[in-house]
Structure 1
Amino acid sequence: MIGSHPFSLLVNPRHGIPGVTVLPAGGFRRAKAAITGWDGYAPTPLHDLDALAAGVATLRIKDESGRFGPGSVKALGGPYAVMRLLAAELSRRGVAGAATAEALADGRYRDVTGTLTVTCATDGNHGRAVAWAARRFHCRCVIFVPGAVSQGRRDAIAALGAEVVPVGGTYDDAVREASRLAAAENWLVVADTAYPGYTETPREIMQGYRLMADEAADQWSGDPPTHVFIQAGVGGVAAAVSVQMRTRFGTAPRLVVVEPDRAACLFASARQDALAAVPGGLETIMAGLACGEPSLLAWQELDRAAAAFMTIPDAAAVDTLCLLADAGLVVGESGVAGLTGFFLAVADTTARADLGLDAASRVLCFATEGVTDRSLYDTRLKSRQR
């Protein structure tokens, strides 16, 4: 399907060992009830990719490019957390006991929410989603971006009314700067990466992400999927998908976590059997996955639930991006990583055997973002057309 590219595959020896409950069922029920009631909510499509199935029985991809305004799965997580944080602050101040998303959106608490600031770090999608939520729920927003974030992605966040603050260094440096300034200014942090002492907001964000996988399970027809290939940055989306696949299907599909080879912190953690950070500038065209430190909550799930971890090069992701464009699907660079992992694995005899991929396999992937920088996307398409 795509060209020959080097990749790394690590079969997880801890797969299937019982672990801690990271995302309780009650939290997901609350998130689903809230998000499905928002104005503009609709399930995103699940596409059959029969022509690209590459020797397996079924290949399908869940397309998040039309998810609310931000056009990515992140619109399910960050905005839900913003809503919860604002409602909690209104309750703490005695303004409203249980402010709903509708009440926040119609501006009835604007006099208070307008004095509040939400903040986070981002490589693009999460910050855009938080900025969208801040505009929707009438609060101020400050987004910290590492130097590698393109101007187009910065402009998309600023267009939603957020203040964009560049930070020298990587995404993880931006996370630390957002946390530092938030503590000094009494801002509300909406980080999607969990660390010791900061877990509840990332947990709420991950509960929102579960809705994507829940919809996919509703939309799936025929025998259930045998494999899921899902991309990861800090791991929140991958862990949310893992939990929901296990919840919805009697036999959980084999979950393969796919990362850029220059920003593979979960792969490194799996290899070391402990949370591990990866050094360097984390330069990758899969900008939304350019993370050097895993989320604590995500790792607690994936350490034992993931069947395998993969790393892929940028060139392979570009091949997949172009292949999908030819098929009429417009997906951003980070959104094709899981499918790219599948294409590379299914074409390799050893990887096929290690993952149990065969003619009866049924594979689910997730296109977690639409185009996040049109200029860069068009340039990459043109580079493959020459």
Structure 2
Amino acid sequence: MLNLSKNTFFSGKTSELFSVEQAKQARAFHSQIDGYQPTPLVSLPALAKQFGVKAILVKDESKRFGLNAFKVLGGSYALGRQLAKHLNVDITEIDLKTVATKLEEPLTFATATAGNHGTGVAWAAREMGQQAVVYMPKGSPQASVDRIRGLGAECIVTEVNYDDTVRLANDTAQKNGWMLVQDTAWEGYEEIPTWISQGYMTMADEAIEQVTELGFEMPSHVLLQAGVGAMAGGVLGYLADKLDPTKFDTVIAEPKAADCIYRSGTSASGNMVNVSGELNSIMAGLACGEPNPVTWPILRDCSRYFVAVEDNISATGMRILGNPLAGDEKITSGESGAITLGTLNELIKLNSEIGLTKDSVVLLFSTEGDTNPERYRRIVWEGAFPAN
């Protein structure tokens, strides 16, 4: 059910790309968007007692701009930075409501997505008066397609997996003169993925502020989910710069069916390892086979553990969050959002040595709500993907 490996490449080296200073700039951009407010950081004291730790704190990203997921942070910031570069102005001069008046005609932004990233790009493009074309891999849920189209974007479901869909989106954007807004990088395409990961740092900056407001000590353990590693790298980069990576332990979790970060972290060289094939997992947002080269260095240098899990571990996490112990707040968390709580539960059940004690403060990010409502009900109501 779970593969856990201690990271032998840990060096504690931080990255100037993902710093407190960069996070403040991204958060300032997000703060001027209508409807911005920090998403809740929820303390689960009953569950913490059950698990034998001091605190479990969950950042609930289902409340982000009414979009049920965190991805809009990266997409909106990247679009803002792109438009600033296109207009030759500073990002501080980009106002979502007025930027369209500075352009002779709308620009078209293209992206590939498993769902949430495309939703964020479509929403940001609409808010800025621009156009979006979103490509999704085969097998994508109709609910995600409908959500993206409902935001005014064109949405095309391909016949290939996520990584090949990224290549298709890139090729089509180049042919049509569109701007590609992709949350993974490759040689020659690093700037925009960097902006996307920097956008994700807003939720980390909020979270650390909220930890203090709730009266807790800084986290001793952080669990982060990874697809290509764009979010995990941005958040970990911020935390490493803010808190010192030697002062807390980070666990990077991903599906076994798409465990490119785990395989990279357990390779002999510490170089990136790609995973091919169908990449089938209920955690669609994490079903990616090729690590992001922009964020891989920070994951390699500042993570303590890599873990790859079966789908039923995420499903268990969804049920725990959706059916809390008495006194704890309910959190609606989707498949990609609940992998970290499910992983924490499994690590405790197995008595895994990740240094948890009665004084541990554990920080988790529930990155999405019930973005696939039908499957959410099958898992939480009907018990699909049961624990072994």
The TM-score, its normalising length taken from structure 2, stands at 0.91
Residues 7, 304 of structure 2: 8 Å contact kept: yes
Structure 1 segments unaligned to the other structure (5+ residues): 1-5
Partner of 1:254: 249
Q: Deviations over 1:148-174 (max 9, x none)?
A: 211111111111011111222211011
Return structure 1 stretches of 4+ with deviation > 3 angstroms.
Answer: 19-22, 24-27, 96-101
Instruction: Give distance in 1, aligned partners of 2:80 and 2:151.
Output: 17
Mean CA deviation greater in 128-137 or 76-85: 76-85
Structure 2 segments unaligned to the other structure (5+ residues): 325-329
**Residue 73 of structure 2 is aligned to residue 79 of structure 1:** no
Mean CA deviation greater in 303-312 or 323-332: 323-332
Instruction: Give distance in 2, aligned partners of 1:297 and 1:252.
Output: 24
State the one-letter code of the partner of 2:26.
Answer: A
Instruction: Give distance in 2, aligned partners of 1:127 and 1:98.
Output: 22
- 1:37 to partner: Cα distance: 1.7
Q: 1:377 to 1:97 in 2, by over 3 A?
A: closer
Partner of 1:105: 97
Instruction: Give distance in 2, aligned partners of 1:57 and 1:150.
Output: 38
Residues 13, 298 of structure 2: 8 Å contact kept: no
Aligned partner (choices 348, 351, 360) of residue 350 of structure 2: 348
Instruction: Give distance in 2, aligned partners of 1:99 and 1:112.
Output: 21
Partner of 1:289: 286
Residues 22, 297 of structure 1: 8 Å contact kept: no
Q: How many residue pairs align between the two structures?
A: 372
- 1:24 to partner: Cα distance: 4.8
Instruction: Give distance in 2, aligned partners of 1:58 and 1:31.
Output: 28
- 1:241 to partner: Cα distance: 1.4
Q: Which residues in structure 2 correspond to 1:368-379 (within 5 Å)? A: 368-379=367-378
The TM-score, its normalising length taken from structure 1, stands at 0.92
Instruction: Give distance in 2, aligned partners of 1:236 and 1:269.
Output: 15
Q: 1:222 to 1:189 in 2, by over 3 A?
A: same
SS at match of 2:63: coil
State the one-letter code of the partner of 1:375.
Answer: E
Q: Which residues in structure 2 correspond to 1:1-386 (within 5 Å)? A: 6-18=1-13, 21-53=16-48, 54-91=51-88, 100-102=93-95, 104-106=96-98, 108-109=100-101, 112-114=104-106, 116-220=107-211, 221-250=215-244, 252-272=247-267, 273-327=270-324, 328-349=330-351, 351=352, 353=353, 355-384=354-383
- Identical aligned residues as a percent: 36
| RMSD between superposed Cα atoms in Å | 1.9
- 1:28 to partner: Cα distance: 2.8
Residues 256, 308 of structure 1: 8 Å contact kept: yes
Mean CA deviation greater in 17-26 or 172-181: 17-26
State the one-letter code of the partner of 1:337.
Answer: I
SS at match of 1:161: coil
- 1:209 to partner: Cα distance: 0.5
